[in-house]
Structure 1
Amino acid sequence: MGMSAIRPKPDLLDSDYREALAAYVAYGGEALLARGYELGRKALADGRSIPELVGVHSRALRTLASDDRGPREPGLLIDSAETFLAETLSPFEMTHRGYRDSLIAWRHINEMLEQEVRRIAHALHDDSGQLLVSVHLQLAALAREIPAAAPKIQECQQVLDQAEQQLRHLSHELRPMVLDDLGWLAAIEFLAAAVSGRTRIPVDVRSSITQRLPAPVETALYRVVQEALTNAARHSKASRIGIEIDQELDSLRCLISDDGVGFEVESCVRRGGLGLRGMRERLGALGGTLHIVSAPGQGAQIRFNLPLGR
């Protein structure tokens, strides 16, 4: 017994769109035009793309143009179809506008957070440092007045020295002054040297560009590299980590790679682990993109692009 060919299930969007377009072309009116908006909103909710909708529109238009019952005047068909398509695509335009506004708001939030972090970091470094110096002077005077207490006072001074080192380290982690004073490249090189010193993992930094960048780009670049480098140092068990930065047209490209144990990218992305969500959001606020390549036993590569013109 012969087997009949399996035909693909017809796309309901095609038929619904064709019927709605034909009705609008024939009768016009806001009520029938609103049907285009509803079709567009449903297509957006179903994950359809603009090219898909344009394809649906093109097929419907060809069908109407070849139908003897359609309008005799081609100009009327084209004008009406253009209006209907614009209405169908309007939910996509509004979504894009909302996304753009969200990016602007997120960029503003990031800038405000960085300003507050900078203020706290400077307060820790400068104000706390001055207070500790004052305490050191008071303890030194007390040791001269009460020689018998000198050993205990010396122990207190050693604890103060440790506190000062911790505050200096915390200040640098929050916002390294070298980023503001000398720029992104010096800050990343300083960060790489610090991570390498703590972990004994060689970290190689290579860059084909050295000039200062717009402040938001420098901050985003440093923060994403900081997160990726920290993750590699903590989890990768790598013997070497590399950071490569270059420029392609109006975009900055960065690659952070290691030869460590690797990880399952999809499961990590689903969990939002390794700070990936924060990196994507920080880059996305400036129009950047993040791409991760890794597998168990094959190391990891984190690539991202940042537009320089923003």
Structure 2
Amino acid sequence: MSPLSPVRVFGLVLLVVFCVEGAIMLLLPRLPTWLHGELMESLLDAAVLTIATAPAVWWLAILPLRQLFEERGRLLKRMFESQEQERARIAGDLHDSIGQHLTALLVGLSSIDSAADLSSARERARDLRELGAQAHDEVRRLARGLRPAVLEDLGIGPAVERLCKDFERVHDVAIRLKSEVSRRLDPTVEISVYRIVQEALNNIAKHAAARRAAVDITVADGALSLLIEDDGRGFDAGAPLLESPSGGLGLRGIRERVALLHGEFRVKSSRGGTAIHVRIPLEP
């Protein structure tokens, strides 16, 4: 059940109170004579009004609020879990790539001391410079993944364009990008949209077996709309894939990011491909 807006809840509660109060006014003249009297009528009015409005207040206000707090707790828990998983991934990347390069550099520098002649030392120094350049490139790659500089400098459009080009170079998937964002957005929205596109492309690479994909970003009517499509094998959108740690972690992450921004998230999938629709409201 989707939660009602506060204005609608307030209006429905007032409507219930009005109807109950009107019914009480119609019934009071028909009550036994011993119930007539200012005190008895007031007590009866208050009791009936309380009994009649309590379920309405529960279903229209208390229950949605409780569900909202429970969902918020689940989102925060998953956000912390995602942070820990990201930290573990970064630690693994640092150990496996940067750590290995630095170890090789240290061993190589030690071997220069035992070089037979100057020519051998220079040759080893050239090899070490190449190794250092590889380590430098790896650091830049990790830094781009953590916080893309192009996103901070130029905005979401150029950042997603760079992301799509990097993806095409690594994976055999052709991406058509359409970006209609003419202004800078809130930094939280920009980094969230970037991560959503990143997660969706990772899903395409890991699970879709697609040959082509499309990314459309538009800003209109006070909201950002994002559409990511592929021509892969698809999946059952009604199945619990969104909760599956093996296949749906990326989609679950997208859904949670969108929920934290009070946006809308929809997935349509079939044998011919998958489409992810995201709409995020923007502050004026």
What's the TM-score, normalizing by structure 2?
0.66
Distance 1:190 1:271, change over 3 A: same
Q: Report the Cα offset of residue 307 of structure 1.
A: 1.1
The answer to whether 1:177 aligns with 2:149 is: yes
The answer to whether 1:247 aligns with 2:247 is: no
Aligned twin of 1:265? 237
- For residue 253 of structure 2, the aligned residue among 269, 278, 286 is 278
Q: Report the Cα offset of residue 170 of structure 1.
A: 1.5
Distance 1:69 1:48, change over 3 A: farther
Asked if structure 1 preserves the Cα contact closer than 8 Å seen for 2:20 and 2:49, the reply is no
Measured in 1, the distance between the counterparts of 2:20 and 2:232 equals: 56
Asked if structure 1 preserves the Cα contact closer than 8 Å seen for 2:243 and 2:252, the reply is no
- Give the secondary-structure state (helix, strand or coil) at the position aligned to 1:266: coil
Aligned twin of 1:98? 69
Measured in 2, the distance between the counterparts of 1:281 and 1:153 equals: 49
The answer to whether 1:306 aligns with 2:280 is: yes
Q: Report the Cα offset of residue 69 of structure 1.
A: 5.3
- For 1:166, the aligned partner's letter is E
Aligned twin of 1:18? none
Measured in 2, the distance between the counterparts of 1:94 and 1:233 equals: 39
- For 1:84, the aligned partner's letter is A
- For 2:202, the aligned partner's letter is T
- For residue 187 of structure 1, the aligned residue among 117, 141, 159 is 159
- For residue 265 of structure 2, the aligned residue among 286, 290, 301 is 290
Measured in 2, the distance between the counterparts of 1:49 and 1:202 equals: 40
Deviations 1:4-52 (A, max 9, x none): xxxxxxxxxxxxxxxxxxxxxxxxxxxxxxxxxxxxxxxxxxx79879x
- For residue 216 of structure 1, the aligned residue among 174, 188, 213 is 188
Q: Report the Cα offset of residue 165 of structure 1.
A: 1.9
Aligned twin of 2:136? 164
Q: Report the Cα offset of residue 239 of structure 1.
A: 2.0
Q: Report the Cα offset of residue 90 of structure 1.
A: 4.6
Asked if structure 1 preserves the Cα contact closer than 8 Å seen for 2:222 and 2:282, the reply is yes
Measured in 2, the distance between the counterparts of 1:100 and 1:308 equals: 22
Deviations 1:151-172 (A, max 9, x none): 2332222222222222221111
Measured in 2, the distance between the counterparts of 1:94 and 1:264 equals: 31
The answer to whether 1:229 aligns with 2:201 is: yes
- Give the secondary-structure state (helix, strand or coil) at the position aligned to 1:303: strand
Measured in 2, the distance between the counterparts of 1:49 and 1:214 equals: 26
Aligned residue pairs, count:
241
Measured in 1, the distance between the counterparts of 2:150 and 2:123 equals: 38
Aligned twin of 1:22? none
Q: Report the Cα offset of residue 285 of structure 1.
A: 0.8
Distance 1:181 1:295, change over 3 A: same
- Give the secondary-structure state (helix, strand or coil) at the position aligned to 2:185: coil
- Give the secondary-structure state (helix, strand or coil) at the position aligned to 1:210: coil
The answer to whether 1:84 aligns with 2:58 is: no
Residues 5-84 of structure 1 mapped to structure 2, 5 A cutoff = 76=45, 80=49, 84=54
- For residue 125 of structure 2, the aligned residue among 129, 153, 169 is 153
- For 1:218, the aligned partner's letter is E
Measured in 1, the distance between the counterparts of 2:149 and 2:155 equals: 9
Q: Report the Cα offset of residue 195 of structure 1.
A: 0.5
Aligned twin of 1:197? 169
Measured in 1, the distance between the counterparts of 2:213 and 2:152 equals: 25
Over the matched positions of the two proteins, sequence identity in percent amounts to 29
Aligned twin of 1:4? none
Deviations 1:113-157 (A, max 9, x none): 7xx99xx9xxx9xxx9xxx9xx89x97x989x9333222332222
Unaligned runs of 5+ in 1: 1-46
- Give the secondary-structure state (helix, strand or coil) at the position aligned to 1:306: strand
- Give the secondary-structure state (helix, strand or coil) at the position aligned to 1:294: strand
Distance 1:153 1:216, change over 3 A: same
Q: Report the Cα offset of residue 286 of structure 1.
A: 1.0
Measured in 2, the distance between the counterparts of 1:99 and 1:184 equals: 32
Measured in 1, the distance between the counterparts of 2:226 and 2:126 equals: 48
Measured in 2, the distance between the counterparts of 1:266 and 1:197 equals: 33
